[in-house]
Amino acid sequence: MNVLAAIGRVFLGFLQYTGRLTVFTGVAVSHCLRPPIYLRLIARQMLEIGYFSLPVVGLTAIFTGMVLALQSHTGFARFSAEGAVATVVVISMTRELGPVLAGLMVAGRIGAAMAAEIGTMRVTEQVDALETLSTNPYKYLVAPRIIAGLLMLPCLVLVADIIGVFGGFLVGTYQLGYNPATYIHSSWEYLKPIDVISGLIKASVFGFIISLLGCYNGYNSRGGAQGVGQATTNAVVSASILILTSNYILTALFFNK
Amino acid sequence: MTTPKIQLIDVHKSFGPKTVLDGITADIAPAESFVIIGGSGTGKSVTLKCILGLMRPERGSIKVDGEEVVGMRARDRERMLEKFGMLFQGSALFDSLQVWENVAFGLIQGRRMDRRMARDKAMEKLSQVGLGPDVGDLWPAELSGGMQKRVALARAIATEPEIIFFDEPTTGLDPIMADVINNLIVKCVKELGATAVSITHDMHSARKISDRMAMLYRGKLIWVGPTAEVDRADNAYVDQFIHGRAEGPIQMEIRR
Ligand SMILES: Nc1ncnc2c1ncn2[C@@H]1O[C@H](COP(=O)(O)OP(=O)(O)OP(=O)(O)O)[C@@H](O)[C@H]1O
Ligand SMILES: [Mg+2]
């Protein structure tokens, strides 16, 4: 009996979480679309999300590209298909690894920061103070972050794609001895616009998820420093899980015809 | 009779099993200074938050200018809150903004005032709470507790709202500065015609700033009356509280 009760409780908790998150999303999105829009705040968040995440995302991308070239080379050598290495690197990078890895890294960096900042504002009553100063917290805190996440993640991922492919090129030409011209040629030859575009759309969705969950968890945090810590953890974990889930769904939508 | 500025009718609020407000009823007249006294943790701050709609009471009605605020739609509530200024007990300054921006926040965001003008106005309000212009460029984290409280007070009155709530305005201030703040609150009510609701533990301050007082105990307002009558209240609880005696009907939950 206890087991059933526990399962029921978890399930109800999950439904409650989903319901609350849905309502929050609705309100937040409606505030993104209605004026006033705080351009200064959006710009500040764009800087925070886009510019200051570049080192992390760049490093992730270059090593991913490098290891991808190395792995596919050793793998493909078994049935002498080494010629496909460049193509594999560029397609995996743009379709999957660029958006997913950048998304996960940014979730750790930005999602956590958002949850901590808004959470601290919540527990020190700064969010309440905003309301009493006739400023809607959704408009002032949540909307700029969501808009910035939506816009900046694709930019980051584009940079990650380029750096990642370049990392593959470095390993391919210097270590594995491919001809640079042939490598570049075969990178381009099989690359379709949809590969890049689907990755960028994914990135936008991930940016939305990261900001949304960062804000949601911060906004609903309770009970002092401990509550803020919990909110930060929840923001990163739930954003990461949702990124991976939605990545599968989006991939199925784009390529499963 | 004119409509009360704020009207509370049988307001109930509890957190889980714990009942905090158990049927609060009060009328606060326009341009009146109303002070709520009562022991720590009796729900004074919660009462103010219910009026502002930051917390939702389970039962009862709260009217501001005759308009029901419990369960109000978000947009109406935003408009309603423009009438209010609130000094939070813990100051609640925005730590990502400089002191002057904190004070000017309601002017810039709410009233859409030009930043340069808002800054001048903020500096003027800061001087009213005894803080020089150099403080305006500091960050909230660089201020002492008492200074933060005064900045928060300047922020609450910066937009010259119709209704101002002061949650423990003089706690943590030296006696002289406390009296400056008392005078400022009196001035807001007398000169600007604001309606003020204050919470304080400082009986000297309570007597000085209030027209009427109310005492909150066990979720109810057990005594409401003009300030002059508080000494003749003929209520053992009020008597014990205003004289600060440990012995009396209010038994603190301390193990002896
Ligand atoms: N967000 C909350 N969640 C749960 N309980 C709360 C919450 N806010 C207040 N309470 C409870 O409500 C009661 C009243 O709190 P409130 O802050 O109004 O006290 P107060 O009268 O202002 O006391 P003080 O003079 O110490 O500021 C407290 O016992 C507190 O435990
Ligand atoms: Mg209080």
Residue A127 domain boundaries:
20-28+38-255
Q: How far is B91 from A129, CA to CA, in rounded Å?
A: 9
Which pLDDT belongs to residue A206? 94
As a whole number, the mean pLDDT across chain B is 86
Split into its structural domains, chain A has a count of 1
Q: How far is B221 from B38, CA to CA, in rounded Å?
A: 9
As a whole number, the mean pLDDT across chain A is 89
Q: Is residue A6 part of a domain?
A: no
What is the mean predicted confidence (pLDDT) over B141-162? Answer: 88
Which pLDDT belongs to residue A148? 93
| Neighboring chain A residues of B88 at a CB cutoff of 8 Å | 125, 128-129
Structure tokens at B238: 């009020």
Judge whether residue A155 has pLDDT over 90: yes
3-state secondary structure of A130: helix
Return all residues near A249 (Cβ < 8 A) that are at least 6 apart: none
CA distances from B183 to A222, B118, B127, B189 (A): 36, 24, 14, 10
| Neighboring chain A residues of B49 at a CB cutoff of 8 Å | 128
CA B41 / ligand 1 centre spacing (Å) = 5
Strand partners, B11: B24
pLDDT digits over B49-106, tens only?
A: 999 988 899 988 898 888 888 888 888 888 888 889 999 988 899 998 999 999 999 8
Q: Is residue A98 part of a domain?
A: yes
Q: How far is B244 from B40, CA to CA, in rounded Å?
A: 13
Q: Is residue A8 part of a domain?
A: no
Residue in A68, A56, A25 with CA at minimum distance from that of residue A205: A25
Spell out the domain ranges in chain B.
1-74+195-256
Which pLDDT belongs to residue A216? 94
- Helix H or strand E encompassing B208: helix B203-209
Which pLDDT belongs to residue A111? 92
Which pLDDT belongs to residue B66? 85
Judge whether residue B256 has pLDDT over 70: no
pLDDT digits over A156-186, tens only?
A: 999 999 999 999 898 888 887 888 888 888 8
Residue B114: pLDDT band (50, 70, 90) is confident
Judge whether residue A43 has pLDDT over 90: yes
DSSP code per residue over A53-109: THHHHHHHHHHHHHHHHHHHHHHHHTTT-GGGHHHHHHHHIIIIIHHHHHHHHHIII
3-state secondary structure of B26: strand
Structure tokens at A228: 């803020």
pLDDT digits over A30-41, tens only?
A: 888 888 788 888
Which pLDDT belongs to residue A257? 64
The ipTM assigned to this model is 0.87
Kindly report the pTM of this predicted structure: 0.88
Q: Is residue A13 part of a domain?
A: no
Are residues A127 and A121 in contact, defined by beta-carbon separation less than 8 angstroms? Answer: yes
Amino acid at B22: D
| Shortest-distance Cα residue to atom 30 of ligand 1 | B41
Which pLDDT belongs to residue A1? 67
Kindly identify the ligand whose nearest atom is closest to the C-alpha of B87: 2
Residue B106 touches partner A, C-beta closer than 8 Å: yes
Are residues B217 and B39 in contact, defined by beta-carbon separation less than 8 angstroms? Answer: yes
**Ligand 1 touching residue B205 (CB < 6 A):** no
Q: How far is A129 from A123, CA to CA, in rounded Å?
A: 11
3-state secondary structure of B197: strand
Dihedral in degrees, nearest 10, Cα atoms A137, B140, B122, B30: 60
Judge whether residue A62 has pLDDT over 90: yes
Judge whether residue B151 has pLDDT over 60: yes
Return all residues near B118 (Cβ < 8 A) that are at least 6 apart: B104, B107, B108
Judge whether residue B218 has pLDDT over 90: no
CATH of B1-74+195-256, picked from 3.40.50.10490, 1.25.40.10, 3.30.365.10, 3.40.50.300, is: 3.40.50.300
Q: Is residue A169 part of a domain?
A: yes
Q: How far is B256 from B246, CA to CA, in rounded Å?
A: 13
**Ligand 1 touching residue B219 (CB < 6 A):** no
Are residues B82 and B162 in contact, defined by beta-carbon separation less than 8 angstroms? Answer: no
**Ligand 1 touching residue B45 (CB < 6 A):** yes
Name the closest residue on chain B to residue A125, using Cα atoms: B92
Name the closest residue on chain A to residue B87, using Cα atoms: A129
Name the closest residue on chain A to residue B50, using Cα atoms: A128
| Shortest-distance Cα residue to atom 18 of ligand 1 | B43
**Ligand 1 touching residue B94 (CB < 6 A):** no
Residue B253: pLDDT band (50, 70, 90) is low
Q: How far is A182 from B101, CA to CA, in rounded Å?
A: 59
Judge whether residue B252 has pLDDT over 70: no
Half-sphere exposure of B129 (CA within 13 A, CB side): 27
Higher pLDDT, A55 or A179: A55
Burial of residue A130 (CB within 10 Å: 0-12, 13-18, 19+) is buried
Point out the least confidently predicted range of A196-200, A237-241, B32-36, B190-194.
B190-194
CA B165 / ligand 1 centre spacing (Å) = 16
Q: How far is B147 from B135, CA to CA, in rounded Å?
A: 9
Highest-confidence range of A178-192, A204-218, B21-35, B124-138, by mean pLDDT? A204-218
Structure tokens at A253: 């939508």
Are residues A72 and A88 in contact, defined by beta-carbon separation less than 8 angstroms? Answer: yes
Residue in B145, B136, B68 with CA at minimum distance from that of residue B105: B136
Structure tokens at A16: 């409650």
B53, B90, B106: residue with CB nearest A133: B106
Which pLDDT belongs to residue A57? 92
